[in-house]
Structure 1
Amino acid sequence: MSPIEDFLHPLHEGLWEVVIPRDQVTEPLGEGWERSQINVPTPGTIASYRCGQYHLHETKTEFRVHLDRYDPKKHPLLHLIDDAPLLLMISETFITLISFTREYYRSGTSEQLKEQNAILRHHLILGPLVIFMGLIFFIVPDLTFLGITAYLIPGVVLISGVLALKSCISIRPFRVVNRNDLIGGVWIIGAGLILGAIPPKLWGGVILVILSGWMFASSVMLLRRVLKGRKAVPEGFISRMLIGAVSLLLGIVSFIEPAAVLIIFMDVLGALTVIVGGIITLTGVRLRTLMQPV
């Protein structure tokens, strides 16, 4: 009977990641481990767990554990800056989406898919729509940015507030079920109205400050470690050096040509949207192919 902790000692001796076959871990994760909902995308990951600085990725065949430099609960900003820089999150998202597509095409049987006619129809309709939406990001980035900031974000917040109010108010008979939820719903609706009143230029400025600040801070942290040598960057010397250098370059460009940097990020968002739409469409095509009689 081997708990996961028995395999983690090499992480404190300079090893970046330990890979443990699932059949070697026969005990469940201990009380200190908590499921993590937000992570840098990683190919093949089924679930992710954290315990302090330990970060575990569960796959079908193994557990992959690495040691973050900062505990996201205690140091969330430092964790984002050093352990999860923006460019790393973007690149890993692309890699994970492509890996997901390849993995899907290697799995699945026609027996399992014969009952998925509804899913097939939804995929073949939704996929092209998502691709079209992604292309809009490239064709008219200015109007798309305006639509997201002036309508989409405030609209989502307003709908969330209305749903919160609906859940805490009984119509017949009329009464407030939960006063705290009522107050929360009113605050959310107020926040949505405020967000809708913010001019696009201010939105762009705020977003640019957040993105450039994130990239600048990541470049400083990463390049400082790179200058100390390979032992200071066990997660990958070359990759972190490139991420730090490109982050620094984009951070500088954001002050010289802020509009260009925003368009670049709109293009990245568009590319991710097109890939997601392509995956949905290919999934529908795959389902239709497997459902056809041999």
Structure 2
Amino acid sequence: MSTLESYLDALHRGVFQVVVPKALVTEPLEPVWKRSAINVPSPGTIASYRKGQYHAHETVSEYHVHMDRYDPEKNPIMHLIDDAPLLLMIRETMETIFVTGRDALQRDPLQRLADQRMSWRLRICLGAVLLAIGAILLLLVIGKTVLFFAVILPSLVLILGLLTIVEGIRGREHREHAGKKIVQGGILAGAGLVLFAFWELYLVLILLALMVWFLSSAAVTLLRAVRERRRLTKGFGYTLGLGMSSLALGVLAITLPRGLVEILLTLLAGLTLMAGAFTLLDAWGLRNAARLMEAGGGFQ
């Protein structure tokens, strides 16, 4: 019987990531490894697990494991600063959207149709909604950026809270679970109302948090680039560029906060538009596959 840990020695010798075929791992990951709900997106990942500093991304046939510098359970702040700087999260999110969309388009359309969880019509609607949201975000950047924080974000939080309350009420047969949902929904709805009234305050708090995050990540990353120049797993140029970019955005948060907000909203709009475009392209492929099925009498 072999565990995933038995294949991870290379991580302690400077290797950034180890890829382990799932067929080699005969011991189940859980409960030793804990499933992680919040992660930097990565292409092909169907589940993510953590064990201390180990972080495993599960794909269909492999485990991709790297080692974080900080255990997020024991030191979540340093984990965010050092292991998951915001720029890295944005870059990997964009890469994941692009790679996932590209892979979806390259797959056999009939197989994609068999595997799909949503109909192509629903995917078209989802893609259109994402494109509309992306376009609205771009218009906000060009026009009145404050509307996003003064109206749109509080509205989304309020709506999410109300939907959570409704979900709790509809699931009253499971009293304990329903009660938690109703309480969570009430908190979210209340937070949404508070955001309507004090949006300027929370915008300042967001900018302060971003400033600290960017500058802290820059300091840690640049210091590592200097101290470990020849031993950096991702290379000196990449590490230096990440640190300098974080520093620039941190300084921007101090000197030109509106500019930082516009940059981040533009990035969010770009991510949303990319996701919407790939969703529409995937839906179009599924639509064509459905017509092929109708013409051929289904799967053979």
Q: TM-score normalized by structure 2?
A: 0.84
Q: What residue number does 2:131 align with?
A: 131
Q: What residue number does 1:24 align with?
A: 24
Aligned-pair Cα RMSD in Å: 3.1
Give identity over the alignment, percent: 38
Alignment of 1:157-196 (within 5 A): 157-162=157-162, 186-196=186-196
Higher mean Cα deviation, 112-121 or 253-262?
112-121
Distance 2:177 2:240 in 1: 55
Q: What residue number does 2:284 align with?
A: 285
Alpha-carbon displacement from aligned partner over 1:87-121 (angstroms, at most 9, x marks no partner): 00001011110000111122244266279797222
Distance 1:161 1:23 in 2: 43
* 1:45 matches 2:45: yes
Q: What residue number does 2:203 align with?
A: 204
Higher mean Cα deviation, 158-167 or 59-68?
158-167
Contact 2:57 2:65 in 1 (8 A): yes
Contact 2:121 2:283 in 1 (8 A): yes
TM-aligned CA distance change 1:220 to 1:184, over 3 Å = same
Q: What residue number does 2:153 align with?
A: 153
Contact 2:168 2:178 in 1 (8 A): yes
Q: What residue number does 2:226 align with?
A: 227
Number of equivalences: 290
CA shift, 1:64, in A, is 1.2
Distance 1:107 1:118 in 2: 16
Secondary structure in structure 2 of the residue aligned to 1:138? helix
Alignment of 1:269-284 (within 5 A): 269-284=268-283
Alpha-carbon displacement from aligned partner over 1:150-185 (angstroms, at most 9, x marks no partner): 334333443454456557779xxxxx9988877666
TM-aligned CA distance change 1:178 to 1:36, over 3 Å = closer
Q: What residue number does 1:34 align with?
A: 34
Secondary structure in structure 2 of the residue aligned to 1:240? helix
Contact 2:53 2:68 in 1 (8 A): yes
Could you tell me which amino acid in structure 1 is paired with residue 110 of structure 2? Answer: S
Could you tell me which amino acid in structure 2 is paired with residue 221 of structure 1? Answer: V
Q: What residue number does 2:73 align with?
A: 73
Q: What residue number does 2:56 align with?
A: 56
TM-aligned CA distance change 1:182 to 1:276, over 3 Å = closer
Contact 1:43 1:96 in 2 (8 A): yes
TM-aligned CA distance change 1:178 to 1:33, over 3 Å = closer
Q: What residue number does 2:4 align with?
A: 4
Where structure 1 has 5 or more consecutive residues not aligned to the other structure, the ranges are 171-175
Distance 2:165 2:124 in 1: 35
Q: What residue number does 1:122 align with?
A: 122
Distance 2:80 2:156 in 1: 25
Q: What residue number does 2:173 align with?
A: none
Distance 2:180 2:105 in 1: 48
CA shift, 1:262, in A, is 0.9
CA shift, 1:236, in A, is 3.9
Distance 2:169 2:124 in 1: 39
Q: What residue number does 1:173 align with?
A: none
Q: What residue number does 1:216 align with?
A: 215
CA shift, 1:243, in A, is 0.7
Where structure 2 has 5 or more consecutive residues not aligned to the other structure, the ranges are 171-175, 296-300
Contact 1:164 1:181 in 2 (8 A): yes
Secondary structure in structure 2 of the residue aligned to 1:292? helix
Distance 1:126 1:232 in 2: 45
